[in-house]
Chain A
Amino acid sequence: MTQVLSNFIKALRASDVRVSTAESIDAAAALALVGFEHRTLIKEALGQVLAKTPDDKSRFNDCFERFFTFEDLAGDSAPGDEQATGDDQREGAPGEDGGQGGSGGGGDGGLAAMLERGDGPALQQALASAARNVQLQNIRLFTQRGMYIRRILEDMGIEPLDDLLFALLKANDDDPRALRLKEQKARLVENVAGLVDRQMLMYTANAWPKLREEVLQKTPLARIEIRDFKVMQELVRKLAKRLVSLHSRRRHVSKRGQLDVRHTIRKNIEYDGLLFDTVWKRVRVDRPKVIAVCDVSGSVAQVARFLLLFLYSVAEVLPKVRAFAFSSHLGEVTGLFESKPVEDAVVETINTYGMGSTDYGGALAELERLTLADIDQRTTVIILGDARSNYGDAGERSLRRIHERARRVLWLNPEPMAFWNSGDSEMQKLGAACDKVESCRTLKHLERVVSEIARTAI
């Protein structure tokens, strides 16, 4: 039974339910407690031990239903009324450990006899043990489907059956026994294929999305296609959630206070040194102000889209974000993001500001005019752009003035570093007025940048 349980847990993990080793031990203990007879009882018990969020619960239910399905292998040919007992009958579940015999878990008559008897339970068992012998749980790709079907059939003893069929048909072209057997064999093959398909679905259901997410994280954002946007947004949200939980914890800590002896004494001088009014040490919760300035022209727009999505998804740790967008002229889009769902706001921003040739000189001057009064030593300015100013003014003087007042200025360039300073790129001039210049092409880069900003929130 442990084998079955560990396979089930494997299937659970494949469908994105996190199961720790300790929990699998608990599951085994719970299973030993409730027994294997009552399906609903097992389901309740395992559900409480293994699935611990509402999401997990629904995934667990799906997985349980799929994993513990059996169908009547005997089919309708002979509804097992004639006492369907194999040599040793076990319960309907995919068997306990044992029956390790190389070929055919069935009785002495082998597969043919089982089929002819219409012995559903024995067939079911033979199938389960064959599946175990060929380690069906390791199936990963749909191209392996045929191979596994063949292996299971071989393990169940299809070869002697074929030989028998061949011999029968050779003797008599339409021997009724042979014909019936042939039909039953076809049904068996179909059942095996069904089993393999189900298993494949179960163990690989989540492998694809996972792989896709992994690849997407490393794909340059500019090259991501429209059809992947949904997945990307989901992904951004996931990453943002992780960042929030990572950084909000630290803020909790900083809320606590300790007696500040120095300040207490100083403050109580007026009471003749009696420590009357206590002062507590507080770690100041430094909520950073973030000003995000995004070039939304052409290929940079894609990266800007996800940066904005990111910044507004971590609103819990970064409560004060002002966003600006520009190509030919610059404007503030903060209000847009506050009034609309992030996705819609992003699209509208790009539609409004995205049409035009980039003018860094004008944009940075405008930014200076709009925000300089608001920038202080807590402000982080993030500028996202390729610094390609169409041979116009780069605006580095404005940027330098912003830099002088801000806590720091980050420049994120979606181009690979090798392309910087080529053609009309003004990276060298503008980069000199920044604290940090980074190439930021993929979601992974973005995550790192946002995480770093959030870290200084403490």
Chain B
Amino acid sequence: MSTANPTAALAALADIQRGFQSSGYIASDAIATCVYIAQALSKPILVEGPPGVGKTELANATAKLLDKPLIRLQCYEGLDESKALYEWKYGKQLLYTQVLKEKLGDLMQGAQGLKESIARLHEFDDTFFNEEFLEPRPLLKALWAPQGAVLLIDEIDKSDQEFEAFLLELLQDYQISIPEIGTVKAKQPPVVFLTSNNTREIGDALKRRCLHLYIPFPDAKLEQRIIESRVPALEAGLRTQLVAFVQSLRGLDLKKVPAVSETIDWARTLLLLHAAELEPALVRQTLNVLLKFQDDIEHVDAEVPALTRQAAKNA
């Protein structure tokens, strides 16, 4: 069973990380490993973690890395297969029947009685139920994509349990059954990402079919690299201060702690304001970029000077 080639695996991981970096996504080892395994075993990835750590961004970056189109399905309560998988183009079907009405008369000419007419009609049975009249929705689009695709099923936890069960067939065999047509199999298995914010527990059946990747908040070093890649114009000194400040904020008891995306926004804001270093007044003015609850802002406001000083010291 030792077909494994560990150096090859390591090289592949390094490749993936480099590829991600070139599109501006800094991936930890865990993320790179996960993407690598998922591709090799053709398994979907269930990504969990606090909001704003780059779950959705990971799918974007993977699409760029593999040079495949990104197909996105946003989940919400009440999402069903007609919105996720396919729908018949009712309008088009109706229009065609109207237009073809006269043709229908020609066809029926000479038919004796109802029975024969119906028999004739049966010969054209599937004209209106073929792929021409099928409106593909994200899932079907992903299966039909000739070169494969990256399919992002975003916030699966917001969908209903029924939809989750409906996904199982797709995730297991990359195929899906349409009653009128039959089973549609993927031309090229898509790379599937599912993201979840854990508003509800995901079913075991779904979890079993996926690799599970948990993305936590990055440590200071990784976050600095992320800011460096996303906001390259920001000065190095300010960057370390800013990251140290945000990291210490995450230690506080807040309603919603700032995520990576908010750090990036803040970095951009500071850049826009031509800030040279973190000062309490400046931080106070821009705190609303980082914190999204008035309670939190008031809570942090008093501690801004201390936090700023500490951030400057740590940097």
Contacts and interface: CB of A to CB of B under 8 A. Distances in A.
Nearest to A57: B214
B244 to A, nearest CB: 26
Interface stretch (A27-35, A117-125, A371-379, A404-412): A27-35
A20 B160 CA distance: 24
Q: Which of B1, B13, B48, B162 has the most CB of A within 10 A?
A: B1
B212 A33 contact: no
B208 A44 contact: no
Given A41-B33, A252-B161, A32 B213 contact: no
Contacts of A38: 6, 9-10
B160 A34 contact: no
Q: Is the interface of A mostly helix, strand, loop or mixed?
A: helix
B198 to A, nearest CB: 9
B204 to A, nearest CB: 8
Interface stretch (A47-55, A175-183, A189-197, A271-279): A47-55
B214 A54 contact: yes
A30 B214 contact: no
Contact of B46 (A23, A31, A52): A52
A32 B33 contact: no
A26 to B, nearest CB: 7
A49 B211 contact: yes
Given A26-B41, A41-B33, A252-B161, A35 B213 contact: no
A29 B10 contact: no
A123 B2 CA distance: 23
A34 B161 contact: no
Interface in B156-179: 160-162
Contact of A252 (B43, B160, B207): B160
Contacts of B212: 48-49, 51-53
Contacts of B2: 1, 36, 96
For this complex, into which size category does the number of interface residues on chain A fall? 20 to 34
A324 B285 CA distance: 53
A33 B11 CA distance: 12
B33 A45 contact: yes
B29 A44 contact: yes
Nearest to B45: A48
Contacts of A2: 1
A40 interface: yes
A34 to B, nearest CB: 5
A96 B209 CA distance: 28
Interface in B1-51: 1-6, 9-10, 13, 29-30, 33-34, 36-37, 40-41, 43, 46, 48
B180 interface: no
A249 B161 contact: yes
Interface in A36-74: 36-38, 40-41, 44-45, 47-49, 51-54, 57
A249 B6 CA distance: 45
Given A48-B212, A52-B207, A41 B41 contact: no
Contact of A1 (B1, B5, B10, B33): B1
Given A23-B208, A38-B6, A52-B46, A45 B37 contact: yes
Q: Is the interface of B mostly helix, strand, loop or mixed?
A: helix
Contacts of B204: 18
Contacts of A252: 160-162
B280 to A, nearest CB: 36
B253 interface: no
Interface in A82-140: 96
A31 B41 CA distance: 11
For this complex, into which size category does the number of interface residues on chain B fall? 20 to 34
Given A32-B3, A34-B6, A40 B29 contact: yes
Nearest to B211: A48
B6 A44 contact: no
B167 to A, nearest CB: 16
A352 interface: no
A34 B4 contact: yes
A76 to B, nearest CB: 31
Given A40-B29, A252-B161, A33 B208 contact: no
Nearest to A48: B211
A48 B161 contact: no
Contact of B37 (A1, A35, A49): A49
Nearest to B49: A54
A200 B275 CA distance: 59
Nearest to A20: B208
B161 A33 contact: no
B37 A30 contact: yes
A49 to B, nearest CB: 6
A33 B40 contact: yes
A52 B203 CA distance: 11
A38 B36 CA distance: 15
A33 B214 contact: no
B29 A29 contact: no
B10 A41 contact: yes
Contact of B208 (A22, A31, A47, A57): A22
Contacts of B48: 54
A22 B37 CA distance: 16
Contacts of A206: none
Nearest to A40: B29
A35 B6 CA distance: 5
A144 interface: no
Contacts of A96: 2
Nearest to B4: A35
Contacts of B209: 22
The 4 closest A-B pairs by CB, nearest first: A35-B6, A35-B4, A37-B6, A52-B212
11 contacts: A22-B208, A23-B208, A32-B1, A33-B36, A35-B5, A38-B10, A44-B34, A48-B213, A49-B37, A245-B201, A252-B161
Interface of A: 1-2, 18, 20, 22-23, 26, 28-38, 40-41, 44-45, 47-49, 51-54, 57, 96, 245, 249, 252
